[in-house]
Amino acid sequence: MQLAPVFPILYRILQPTFPTCLWSANIQEPIVALTFDDGPHPQYTPQLLSVLDKYEIPASFFWLGVCVERSPEVAKAVYQRGHWVGLHGYNHQMFTSFTSPILKQNLAKTQLAIAQACALDLDYVQTHVRDVRPPNGVFTPQILKSLQSWNYRPVMWSVVPEDWVLPGVAVVVQRVLSQVQNGALIVLHDGFFGGADVAQSTDLIVKKLLQRGFKFVTVEQLWQLSGVV
């Protein structure tokens, strides 16, 4: 059973319940943030970068530490293009399975992997790479409290086409286009699950949204527009 029809309902319920997360931006302008989870991937991410280069638009990537360690050159290529980078945990294990100290170590380990791959000072990464999207979007109020006490910013979503089950490019594109609104935060995947179609899906999504007059921004810019931070 695919869960795609449920995600818009969850969004409408959870967004007002957890207002300190970034779910979207309440704005009138046709602006969206395009985000990608579970990478970097040695094949799918470079294909995706070619699409983003083609349209000259920014995106935001929520990385797994283990994937950064496996493909450091890809991570560096993403960062050097000016795309925004966030954390998705070290190995996609749900945050609810960790004790608070272990979760803190998990995120710090991912920051270290990013610093090493992108040739960045660790202090800089700890200060600037602090957006966190929990794997599978699963969190508790206590996890959010912990993240914020450690100076992380929780980032969620408003459009989730469930591309990781590979329903087909046409289905993914249709789901995004039918749900997108001004200030939307779109989630796609460039990792092992979903990544095989991500370049083609993104190409069509971006083309259609540009035709509708949408502008693409990073998660950092969406934070600023949202007024939450």
131 included as an active-site residue: no
CA distances from 153 to 101, 127, 132, 144, 173 (A): 17, 11, 6, 9, 28
* Contact (Cβ atoms closer than 8 angstroms) between residue 8 and residue 24: no
92 included as an active-site residue: no
Cα(219)–Cα(229) distance, integer angstroms: 12
Which of 41, 88, 189, 197 is an active site residue? 189
DSSP character string of 94-130: -GGGS-HHHHHHHHHHHHHHHHHHTT--HHHHHHH--
Which of 37, 38, 131, 190 is an active site residue? 37
**Which residues are part of the catalytic machinery?**
37, 189
